[in-house]
A and B are shown apart, each in its own frame.
Chain A
Amino acid sequence: MLKTEVNELLTQTGPATPAGELFRRYWIPALLAEELPENDCPPVRVKILSERLIAFRDSEGRLGLIDEFCAHRGVSLWFGRVEECGLRCAYHGWKYDVTGQCVEVPSEPENSNFCAKVKLTAYPLVQVGDVLWTYMGDPDRRPELPAFEFAQVPAEQTFTSKRWQESNWLQALEGGIDSSHVSWLHSGGLKSDPLFKGAKGNQYNLNDMRPFFEVAEADGGLFIGARRNADEGRYYWRITPWVMPSFTIVPPRGDHPVHGHFWVPIDDENCWVYTFDYHPLRVLTPDERQAMKDGHGVHSRNIPGTYRPEENKDVDYLIDREAQKRGETFSGVRGIAQQDASLQESMGPIVDRTKERLVSSDTGIIKARQKLRKAVEALRDEGTTPPGVDPAHHRVRSAAIVLPQEDSFIEASREAVAVRPGVAHSSV
């Protein structure tokens, strides 16, 4: 349970809100690189942290992320033309460069310097991996670029997709921290999904529906360990790192690629879910890549030409009661991503946490909220840089390991949860 004021503190991320200021201390995903595929391609509308922006790639390949609306009469620059190193408004031809600087006002005399006085808000937009990242905070406090392993490996070893989720970012993130739902909601996928099936660890998952949990502090957030019985005298551990504010990695299964998420607030009632899969050592096979595009694993099957899942709110997530009855899916919704989204959206756009009834297995969620609240307050009151800003905090891995019962997962997995170039994930 959270008090109303804490729930509002953590769920509101618009400009000048305390949690909005927190998000504005990090590099966050703004678009997939595929959305701006070539120089002078059409501009893309981007709404993040409740700000409406427009992204474009100019004639020389420079990336821009600027205010969506023309300074002249406030029309959307989405209707504009990307040409000759700028974005030209379709209404009266005002033109802006990637820094938001107006470089041409056609109605002014040729020797006028009026345009030099017109500049739109602009944020940096930088490609790291498959993702275009932005930093929307104080330029003087801009941290080093993100160093998450999924975005650092060669392009052929990684794949990222995204989907729109119609809920506040926090209830979506909390689903990523809550390992206890996996054995229920996603039980069908463990047996059949091409990106999961066949791992020995799946059997441990399915044989023990009452995992024990351990939550431990990490420099950038938390490590959450879920422990199940394995063979005699040993436990099967699945270790999920959470890096603040909203990055998680799912523990691996066998030699399958490893996946995870980055949740980015669009506004207070919607978020983008960036979902990646990567393998630290090998190229993703054509079959794996196709499975990801088809919405298997933790990816979604999107309506062509959009980032909206086919199983969405408007069509009751295409629930299939027969598949539910047969046990192919636990909830009747296809795909792990939309199994999660359907339930998280059903909570309401911003879940009222004053009414929830947590149990002790929700300790990971309780601790994550507390860390977020403390970070938001420390930034607001003392200007303290929050955990997860330092790229060193990004260099973590998830792990799936079998340990003797007496071993501490924190100590025994210290190497397993660190990024070690050239070394495979610890997986079962």
Chain B
Amino acid sequence: VTTPIRPILLNSCARAATAVEARFRIDRPIGGRSARVIALDEDAREVVARIAAQVSGNAHFLTGSELAGSPSRLEEELEDADVAIMVATAGAGPEAAAAIAQACAERGIMTAGLILGDRLEVGAAVSALRPYARVLMVTDDEDDVAEVLTALRA
């Protein structure tokens, strides 16, 4: 073990972390994420429509069918995105998720999946999304969609 470097001044050691100085940290403006929120099935589409009316960020709200069926629209939507959040319920299949996830992977866009429903009843949807979402959350709380968007500054 090498001799540890001892702090010389209070402002150059770990003790400098105080409640007072912490108020002045990271004061440059922090930009938001450019998010796409994509409903993968009919029930999810209704949820996403409700969330779109509630949140005030810059996220775009879309449906999987309109994107998966139109490569040009998909390309256009993903052009400046940095996260794609796929929202699904028990009825979701893998097709739209696969097309979206592949396009995201090619562009280095992070993918996340929110599956709404009882955790014991959405196994098929979880399996369908698992290969395509780096992060999956299974929840019975619709508010989680808005909560995630807010937390990500989307």
Contacts and interface: CB of A to CB of B under 8 A. Distances in A.
Chain A: number of interface residues, binned into ranges: 35 or more
A216 B19 contact: no
Interface string B76-108: 000000010100000000000000000000000
Given A214-B136, A323-B1, A367-B137, A360 B14 contact: no
B151 A320 contact: no
B22 interface: yes
A1 interface: yes
A313 B153 contact: no
A247 interface: no
Interface in B120-145: 120, 123, 126-127, 130-131, 133-141, 143-144
Contact of B135 (A322, A347, A361): A361
Given A318-B4, A366-B148, A366-B151, A215 B138 contact: yes
A363 interface: yes
Interface residues of B, number: 47
- Pick from B7, B22, B26, B135 the residue with the most CB of A within 10 Å: B135
Interface SS majority for chain A:
mixed
Contacts of B18: 348-349
Interface in B1-28: 1-2, 4-7, 13-15, 17-19, 21-23, 25-26
A9 to B, nearest CB: 14
* Chain B at the A interface: SS class: mixed
A212 interface: yes
Given A345-B17, A411-B123, A320 B4 contact: yes
Contacts of B143: 370
A217 interface: yes
7 contacts: A213-B135, A214-B137, A215-B135, A348-B18, A349-B17, A349-B18, A363-B137
Given A212-B135, A316-B5, A352-B23, 7 more contacts: A213-B136, A217-B138, A217-B141, A348-B21, A350-B22, A360-B110, A411-B123
